[in-house]
Chain A
Amino acid sequence: MSTVVLDTITGKSTATTITIGSTPVVSASANSMTIRGEGSAQTSIQQGLIKMWYDLDGTGTLEIGDSFNVASVSDGGTGAHTSNFTNNTASARYSMNMGGQSQTDVGFTARDASSVTLLCRGGSGSDAVDIDGLFGNLAGDLA
């Protein structure tokens, strides 16, 4: 495989318009790369990427099944755990989405730029429960 070493790729016809495969890169500036989506609208790659995700087994010893950008997790008691990020977010104002096994309700109890604490409760009840198969993902801005 050959290697191309360079500092800048510039579109020939339009400086900021480059096509990768069948995906037009229509803008590349200010740390933001914008591509054309499935139709004609444009979307930001950086904004659309998931910045952290994980799957946990909360039964017994807390265990990560698989993850991205998670440095460690700590057990906060029944149903509760804190995930610490490898690379922090810009603030606590991100969108954290979570779920788990059927008939459970997962929400966050604390969050900041370096960690988020989730608590899992039994569906229509209020008792905290440990489950195998609790997942979360984070969309937002990295620091």
Chain B
Amino acid sequence: MANGTIAFDTLSTSGQISGTAKSVDTDYLAYGSAKVWYGFDLHGGQNSFEGSFNASSGADNGTGDATITYTNNMDSTNYIFASGGTDSNLVTTGGDATDTKSHTASTLASRSRTNANSTIDSLHQIIIMGSLA
């Protein structure tokens, strides 16, 4: 063993909630952590973050539409995102035949709609999992 190096495969700690031992492969720390999360509020023209992690700025792109730019980019567009919002206002991401919302390694565009499928300014809550650049 070289000076200054401690080698091990698994980091184990005592559990704080259940009181049982917890262990995790160290790769899970990087792969299993969310890389971006935020609540971006379009309601009432606020256009501001309630809270965020690794999000540098947000833009209002019209009714119901927001585009968020990351501080540290993802390594590709092959990442996943989950969304949430207030009751009756569904927040969607990703493009389709009639909706140009999409994502890049540095941005995510999302749209909020009512149950009646009309765009509406509301709170966009997003979490992103994937690999950083």
**Chain A residues with a Cβ under 8 A of chain B:** 11-13, 19-23, 35-45, 47-50, 69, 86, 91, 93-99, 105-109, 119, 121, 124-126, 136-137, 139-141
Contact = CB atoms under 8 A, between A and B. Distances in A.
Contacts of A21: 8-9, 11, 25-27
B117 interface: yes
13 contacts: A11-B4, A20-B8, A20-B29, A22-B26, A37-B30, A38-B131, A40-B133, A41-B73, A43-B30, A97-B126, A107-B85, A121-B115, A126-B115
Contacts of B126: 95, 97
A113 B8 CA distance: 38
A38 B132 contact: yes
Interface of B: 3-5, 8-9, 11, 17, 25-27, 29-31, 33-35, 37-39, 50-54, 72-73, 75, 82-90, 115, 117, 125-127, 131-133
Contacts of A13: 4
Contacts of B53: 44, 47-48, 139
Nearest to B86: A107
B133 A48 contact: no
Contact of A35 (B30, B75, B83): B30
Nearest to A128: B87
A97 B125 contact: yes
A136 B83 CA distance: 10
B87 A119 contact: yes
B131 A109 contact: no
A49 B127 CA distance: 11
B132 to A, nearest CB: 3
A81 to B, nearest CB: 13
> B8, B31, B50, B117: which has the most chain A beta carbons within 10 Å?
B50
A121 B87 CA distance: 9
A32 to B, nearest CB: 11
A106 B37 CA distance: 18
Contacts of B3: 12
